[in-house]
A and B are shown apart, each in its own frame.
Chain A
């Protein structure tokens, strides 16, 4: 059984007074196996973020199913959603989303504290992880005292410390320079090699080339996918680049507005 299954997911946004409906996602189907590293690519407005929000249970699909370890997200009651997210998912965001009120250590501990974890256990978990993400000397600093790359690595540490089933990364390199990006991507790849399942949304070819599989979304549905397999990083980079060219030069399907 796949870790994550996305079946016929549709999302239609309705303006508040109901006149205009916009189809953001149209019949999305794919699945992610345990231990996979999947990148989802697409242009701005292609529905990437909508999809990620649905996977993160921050938003609900209009129709279709999202199964995580066989459990339907729509069936989780809204009261338990927070706990569900905390226990099964880890998040990395483009703008880090670290709390300015907490130092890095406390930011990383936050999900564990909320889950009621013992302090000893927290300390035990943070040490190797912080070392691997190279932030072990920065733990007592506040977010505004460190660089963007360091912030993002702290955010990654926060996402990983709960040992989640799935890490969802939303444009993790979007706010980073190329050096910091490279470092973060390398670390994510390493973490994946050790068995962590990662699903990343991005429009950076550099970021996507690190993934094991790349899904392309266009106008709300999966357009194409490529596996890295035994390809080198450079070959993968070229392939993604070529696919994107095709994707962009394809005659534009009119976005439907159902009224």
Chain B
């Protein structure tokens, strides 16, 4: 009976005695609880339901929480198996001292409970303190009113407690199954069991290369269409499998081939390094693959986040180039009247007009084959042509272009048009291609739901004549849109004044009956985009942190296990005739190479992944490729730096063990 009383104390002591492995694990658990609690608190807060435009932010967070679950479970599982492996010997000793399996199971249960209580308490306390801060961060990122009061919800606590109880129960069952499966003798020699030589190294390595290349090919073939998410998940899956295969087989296979070259292998400077690397690669394949995958995740998540933040203005302007845009029919409202109304209203609310553009456009969907434009055909590529007059063009761009007869100015928002002439429904025009900044048609730089060309034609007569051409060719499927006038305005002033301006403008539009008139509310559009992208940003920041923490813990555990492994071989090598300095030098070189590999692979993965990110960014209408390249280069560089620092910090644990 007394034994049972002993167990709780033993459990707590077991955790404290193994502090080097348990403390980082508890910190990681606290952080996991913290992140989960933050998501949960924000999602369950009543405020989120009442704030205007918060729906998208809420949806993004919901998605984030869902993904978080899928990251946290395997992560906690991995960390936990490391702990169990490390402590096998201790468990074996307890068995010898007369503990039965049921006692061990209870001991494990108590330990799990101890860690669980500590991490849930820590995480929730930390979370309650910081939840408000993170909530403010979310509001700020989503441009939602910051005055909103954040309240502590018990439901979030309950949800967090239950979720982690489930996770802990899962890890406990896994550990308990381990206890029942192994014999005490095995437990005793547990952490020092020889590894089998992995078989099928070369085919395995080739398969790994194949799978990784397949992942890359999927990325390169991805187009911005409805299948993009399928390709995204497929390529992530392939890349993960490929990475595991590569780390398991390829490194070992390469070293094995090197080992066959005896004259090279049996040289003092190569021998220890190669054999050591061979052993390390064999043992640490999974750990290294994990490090590589988490590194890739950190780089890609942070790149997305940073690019999104830096490109927010561009995204907003892409969908809503003007804060208010009037679209009208010239029969009911003249350009002058529209501009006068906008100016008058902005004056009334004390707003300064920073830009006021008026233009008229007509668009036409056609088929394209090189420099030939014709009616839409099933099997031919399609494009959209926007027609404006040269005057409007000069007005929008602030340029001073002029045109000959039968000459058009062409600006492609996607890929370059690239021909000097255009055969437009049988008639030939000379083309002067330009690349300009025009608010209504922002530059995309690649195909985005078909090519778009803006054509500026000499004058109104020429434009009308040109748009009559499709009708003259029989059997062509091409009808130009109606000609509509547009007046867009950008304002400087306070948000309240802008809102009041918009309210009155909309009121005016509702009372307008003489013809067609619509108002596009850019202010509201910006809010919606901001809310959604703010939610994305928030997830990006928190996920970046979570991935980073996973990376740090995996790296630390890797260093620890390498340290335990090397303790023995160090003294042997010394006895056989290697000096301490020599050993330390080769070991340092091995460790550097071993830890440089995942970073290198992660950077290559990320570079390829950027092509996917480039496409994905198209979904939220972020088309600034140069910005993306800059951000990803910056993030990759910064990450490499942080990785090296992390390596330096965690390697202290290693050197502490071997010296």
Hey, which bits of chain A sit against chain B, CB under 8 A?
56, 58, 79, 81-83, 85-86, 91, 93, 97-102, 106, 109-116, 119, 122, 142-145, 158
The contact sample of 27 A-B pairs, CB cut-off 8 A, is A58-B575, A79-B579, A82-B578, A82-B579, A85-B575, A85-B577, A86-B577, A91-B576, A97-B571, A99-B573, A100-B194, A100-B569, A101-B275, A101-B276, A106-B275, A109-B266, A109-B271, A110-B576, A113-B271, A114-B578, A116-B267, A119-B262, A119-B263, A119-B266, A122-B266, A143-B194, A144-B194
B475 within 8 A of A: no
From B194, B571, B573, B582, A142 is in contact (CB under 8 Å) with B194
B279 at the interface (CB under 8 A from A): yes
Using an 8 Å CB-CB cutoff, how does the interface string of B182-195 with A read, 1 for contact, 0 for none? 00000000000110
Is B647 part of the contact surface with A, judged by Cβ < 8 Å?
no
Give the B interface residue count (CB, 8 A): 25
Identify the closest chain B residue to A117 (Cβ). B266
Q: Give which listed residue, B197, B275, B278, B576, contacts A114 with CB less than 8 A.
A: B576
A113 with B267: CB separation less than 8 A: yes
When distances are taken between beta carbons in the complex, the residues of chain A under 8 Å from B577 are 82-83, 85-86, 111, 114-115
Please, which residues of chain B bring their CB within 8 A of the CB of A158? 576
Would A99 and B572 be within 8 Å (CB), given that A82-B578, A82-B579, A144-B194 are in contact? Answer: yes
**Residue among B197, B266, B568, B575 with the most chain A CB within 10 A?**
B266
| 1/0 contact string of B579-600 vs chain A (CB within 8 Å) | 1001000000000000000000
Q: Give Cα A115 to B576, complex, Å.
A: 11
- Among B193, B266, B569, B579, which residue has its beta carbon within 8 angstroms of that of A101? B569
**How far, in Å, is B282 (CB) from chain A's closest CB?**
9
Q: Does B145 contact A (CB under 8 A)?
A: no
Pick from B266, B267, B572, B579: contact of A98, CB below 8 A. Answer: B572
Q: Closest CB of chain B to A78's CB: distance in Å?
A: 9
Q: How far is the CA of A93 from the CA of B568 in the complex (A)?
A: 14
Judge if B268 is at the interface, Cβ distance under 8 Å.
yes
Considering only CB atoms, which chain A residue lies closest to B279 in the complex?
Answer: A101
A32 to chain B, nearest CB (A): 21
For the complex of A and B, the 6 pairs showing the least CB-CB separation, nearest first, are: A144-B194, A86-B577, A101-B279, A82-B579, A97-B572, A113-B271
- A145/B271 in contact, CB under 8 A: no
Contact of A116 among B268, B278, B579 (CB under 8 A): B268
Expressed in whole angstroms, the Cα–Cα distance for A145 and B279 within the complex equals 15
B279 touches A91 (CB 8 A): no
Shortest distance between the CB of B188 and any CB in chain A (Å): 15
On whether A113 and B266 interact (CB within 8 A), knowing A93-B575, A99-B572, A101-B278, the answer reads yes
Residues of chain A contacted by B266 (CB below 8 angstroms): 109, 112-113, 119, 122
Cα A91 to Cα B571 with chains together (Å): 13
Q: How near does chain A come to B658, taking the closest CB pair, in angstroms?
A: 14
B169 CB to nearest A CB, Å: 36
State the Cβ distance, B80 to closest chain A Cβ, in Å.
26
Give A119 Cβ to nearest chain B Cβ, in Å: 5
**In the complex, which residues of chain A have a beta carbon less than 8 angstroms from the beta carbon of B279?**
100-101
CB atoms of A114 and B268 under 8 A apart:
yes
Cα–Cα, bound, A99→B279 (Å): 11
Interface residues of B in 258-298 (CB under 8 A from A): 262-263, 266-268, 271, 275-276, 278-279
Chain B contacts for A144, CB-based, 8 A: 193-194
Expressed in whole angstroms, the Cα–Cα distance for A93 and B574 within the complex equals 13
| B529-577 interface with A by 8 A CB criterion | 568-569, 571-577
Q: Which residues of A contact B576 (CB under 8 A)?
A: 86, 91, 97, 110-111, 114, 158
Complex: chain A residue closest to B568, CB-CB: A100
Q: Which residues of B lie under 8 Å from residue A142 when comparing CB positions?
A: 194, 197
